[in-house]
Amino acid sequence: MKTTHLYTFSLILLFGCSLTLKAQYKWFNPQKEKFPVVRGQAWQGQQEEPSTAYTRLPQRAREKVRRDVWNLSLQSAGLSIAFRSNSPEIKVRYVVKGSLSMPHMPATGVSGIDLYATDNNGQERWCAGRYAMRDTITYDFSELSYASKARDGFEYQLFLPLYNNVSWLEIGVPESASFRFLPVSQEKPLVIYGTSIAQGACASRPGMAWGNILNRKSGHPVINLGFSGNGRLESELFDLLSEIDAKLFIIDCMPNLPGEKAKVVYDRTLAGVKKLRNVSKAPILLVEHDGYANDASSEEAEKSYRMANTELRKAYDALQQEQIADIYYLTKEEIDIPADGMVDGVHATDLGMQQYADSYLKKIREILHEKSEGPTSCIPCKQQRDSYDWYERHEEVLKLNRQNAPEIVMIGNSITHFWAGEPAARTQRGKEAWEKLFENKSVHNLGFGWDKTENVLWRIYHGELDGFKANTIFLLIGTNNLQFNTDEEIIQGILGVTEAVKTRQPQAKLCVMGILPRKNMEKRILQINKGLRKKLEKNCTYIDLTSLLTSKGGIINSALFIDGLHPNAEGYEKIAETLKKHI
């Protein structure tokens, strides 16, 4: 009898503990947010039914495209969800509708998810999760640590299954942890139209699909319209592509058009590219068939893909002859997939996916004029600080630029950020000087607290100088690099920023200010500024503010600063007096 009572008590205790455990977690459903959360969808808000929340084409496309294409569009390849959290444990639970795996592709790629974190200094970190593939799939990412000890933790990106239909999903964190979804970026996306390889076959997990690698490494939004076996250059798909306001179109359909099918490549490529060019100025990248793993041992295999590539090259040459602007070409040799980079002689392994992504990234950086080499001061990078939301301010700038094109742009760090102007900062230390200087002018403040040269490069590469033509641009950057880089590296970083500015705003007068004097660093900054001035391009105007802000002997005039770094109202008045001569 005692044993029975003890057993009953144990069950009650266990049940009570289970309820307590559940109560300790709070769960968040992306579908219930008031703003768009699912990234990778070109037609936000046009997935009309709850069951199609994680799909890739708008509902109206169902009557337009072939059934196979529509069914594949219900699979969530390339879709992701971003959020911020400081939780030591993140749980995800979701339901899929299709088979969990395929003979040549594991369940972790077909139906699994993948979580990546970006810390406050822009460094990407992969998160390992324990998973259970059941009717409701669960992932548990535990023992997460935060090197920067930031109050709001990391920015996370959760990539969804590559070959399955997600019908429902929730993310859970402990009650004590912070959590908030991040809205979809307003930046223009890279748009991929392709085949099963573009969709993600046969990556071991979603983060290793080449489109998702491209998204992670470039930071650009990516729209994945890869349809397994069905990337056929069809006019219906080009109609849909032409609705997207893209940064770049990638057309990678040759693996679905080998051999005799290649007869349609020339005509369909010409028609599709011209359809896009009629509505968009975005660059278009045509991609050759990447070949087969056995093409060295099978003449038939080699002949098959060569036919498709020959027809694509003919189409590219015809477009060049017609002088249709911004058409680019990626060859099989540039992709250079090794034989061991394919699972079955066609579909990529993770090794193949990485090679594919690397070749794309190199070509895309050439097309978009994005450099990423040299010291850290020259490698574009995000950042985040507890004092303000860096990512949110970037999105504010993109929105403001679209709503009201600026005549004058101020680019910088906290010295610019907390001066005045729009987007408005919480603190404005020189509002009167700003308003007097820019009276009756449309001016945007692209100053971001804690920014280094590499952070400014990221913002420029991600749209902050796109879509308008400024008359004058002022640049003040470099002081936050002092504790991380050598003098020469800082100069390289500033010159990299000036090149990025001139590439995107060639008509603007670019005024580069030397680094402002800083307490106990006056001599070093003086030397950096001398070096910068010598190396600055002749089409830039150099502005030296040192004498205005220092006393005799070159020591910082503390009366003009609040902390030996940031100007006070009187300091901004001095700066404004000089800048006025250049407007």
Tokens of 344: 């079955």
Residue 148 is predicted with a pLDDT of 63
Q: CA-CA distance, 278 to 128, in Å (whole number)?
A: 45
pLDDT digits (tens, 9 = 90+) for 112-141: 999 999 999 999 999 999 999 999 999 999
Q: CA-CA distance, 285 to 335, in Å (whole number)?
A: 13
Residue 342 is predicted with a pLDDT of 94
Distance of CA 563 to the CA centre of its chain: 35
Q: CA-CA distance, 520 to 9, in Å (whole number)?
A: 70
Distance of CA 235 to the CA centre of its chain: 29
Residue 21 is predicted with a pLDDT of 45
Residues of the chain with pLDDT under 50: 1-3, 6, 9, 11-14, 17-21
The architecture in CATH of the region 376-582 reads: 3-Layer(aba) Sandwich (3.40)
Residues contacting residue 209 through CB under 8 Å, at least 6 positions apart: 77, 78, 109, 159, 162, 199, 200, 203, 224, 353
Beta-carbon count within 10 A of 137 CB: 22
Tell me the whole-structure pTM to 2 decimals: 0.93
Q: CA-CA distance, 63 to 74, in Å (whole number)?
A: 14
pLDDT digits (tens, 9 = 90+) for 495-531: 999 999 999 999 999 999 999 999 999 999 999 999 9
- Could you tell me which of 474, 496, 461 has the C-alpha nearest to residue 377? 496
CATH (residue range 24-182): 2.60.120.260
- Could you tell me which of 158, 162, 169, 97 has the C-alpha nearest to residue 129? 158
Residue 19 is predicted with a pLDDT of 44
Query: 251: helix, coil or strand?
Result: strand
Q: CA-CA distance, 24 to 356, in Å (whole number)?
A: 43
Tokens of 437: 């200087």
> C-alpha angle 473/413/494, rounded to 5°?
65
Residue 151 is predicted with a pLDDT of 77
Cα-flanking dihedrals φ and ψ of residue 137, to 5°? -80, 135
Q: CA-CA distance, 448 to 388, in Å (whole number)?
A: 9
Residue 17 is predicted with a pLDDT of 47
Residues contacting residue 366 through CB under 8 Å, at least 6 positions apart: none
CATH class of 185-368: alpha beta
Residue 1 is predicted with a pLDDT of 45
- Could you tell me which of 282, 17, 30 has the C-alpha nearest to residue 180? 30
Tokens of 480: 């936050």
Q: Distance of CA 558 to CAs 37, 132, 394, 549, 550, Å?
A: 47, 62, 32, 9, 8
Q: CA-CA distance, 532 to 375, in Å (whole number)?
A: 16
Contact assessment for residue 157 and residue 115, using Cβ atoms and an 8 Å cutoff: yes
Residue 149 is predicted with a pLDDT of 65
Torsion sign, CA atoms 20, 22, 25, 31: negative
Q: Packing angle between helix 299-321 and helix 265-279, nearest 10 degrees?
A: 40
- Could you tell me which of 159, 118, 111, 155 has the C-alpha nearest to residue 136? 111
Rg (CA), the chain: 27
| All structural domains of the chain with their residue ranges | 24-182, 185-368, 376-582
Domain 24-182 identical in fold to domain 185-368: no
